Amino acid sequence: MTAKPLAFVTGAASGIGFATAVRLARAGYDITAADVDAVGLQRTAHAVGEAGGTATTHAFDIRDDTALTGVLDATGTPAVLANIAGVGVAAPLADTSTEDWDRVISINLTAVFTTCRAVIPRMLAAGGGNIVNVGSVAGLVGVGNRAAYCASKGGVIALTRSIAADYAAKGIRANAICPGTVASEWIGKILADAPDPEATRRAMEARQLDGRMGSPEEVAAGIAFLVSDDGRFVNGTAFVMDGGMTAV
């Protein structure tokens, strides 16, 4: 039996990462699922199995280069790398602490750099591969009370384009997917902490032209397209999925 191609998904325990692991399993991949949430990863592994794939789970901080190298050595070279792990801080610049800034940048941007740096030589040795880094519309336009997050996602987009420029001729495609507001666990936490959760929800929904948030499964479908043969002419782009949020 021919071995299935491997997809390495970070942030795989919930939200877009969970949905992406399942969607790629349906597309014929086995999954290396990474996250700090060991319990959530077990749910991911079960869902991947139901989708026809096999998942190995690895609970570690994606900023830990030694752990990352160990996972890659143990699981093999991925044909797909989906960098989805991320965090956010709700604050304007003047209210953003250095600690919060460093945490957001280290997880959202620096870990994308180090993960790509670890995977790309392996992909080159294997003849190529696909990288999708999760950016955000917040990396394309300003979003209030998200100074560190906007900066990190703008960096992800620029880094992704640089990767495409460096490695397109060597068989690696790299794209940044840029969702609008997605009904994920992170948004749920923001709503729970808001003074008026229902008003905050309505405001978030209104940012999209169709008046609703996106779903993790919709973003996962975009990622599946980008790494598929149908997406082979898409490279170095900020692939926007925002319900029209940045159209006006």
Q: Is 185 helix (H, G, I), strand (E, B) or coil?
A: helix
Report the Cα 80 to chain-centroid distance in Å: 12
pLDDT at 121 over 90: yes
Residue keyed to tokens 């021919």: 2
More confident residue, 205 or 49: 49
pLDDT at 111 over 90: yes
E strand or H helix that includes residue 177: strand 172-179
Instruction: Label residue 98 by pLDDT band (50, 70, 90).
Output: very high
Residue 157's closest CA among 173, 176, 132, 138? Answer: 176
Domains of the chain and any CATH numbers: 6-241 (3.40.50.720)
User: Per-residue pLDDT tens for 65-96?
Assistant: 999 999 999 999 999 999 999 999 989 999 99
In order of 36, 96, 211, the CA distances from 205 in angstroms are 29, 25, 5
User: Per-residue pLDDT tens for 213-228?
Assistant: 999 999 999 999 999 9
pLDDT at 1 over 70: no
Active-site position among 18, 149, 167, 239: 149
Whether residue 167 lies in the annotated active site: no
pLDDT at 61 over 90: yes
Greatest distance between any 2 Cα atoms in the chain: 58
E strand or H helix that includes residue 71: helix 65-75
User: Per-residue pLDDT tens for 129-163?
Assistant: 999 999 999 999 999 989 999 999 999 999 999 99
Q: What is the mean pLDDT of residues 45-62?
A: 98
Query: Residue 180's pLDDT is what?
Result: 93
The bridge status of strand 6-10 relative to strand 238-241 is unpaired
Alpha-carbon distance of 57 to 5, in angstroms, equals 16
Residue 152's closest CA among 82, 222, 115, 103? Answer: 103
User: Per-residue pLDDT tens for 180-199?
Assistant: 999 877 777 777 888 888 88
pLDDT at 53 over 90: yes
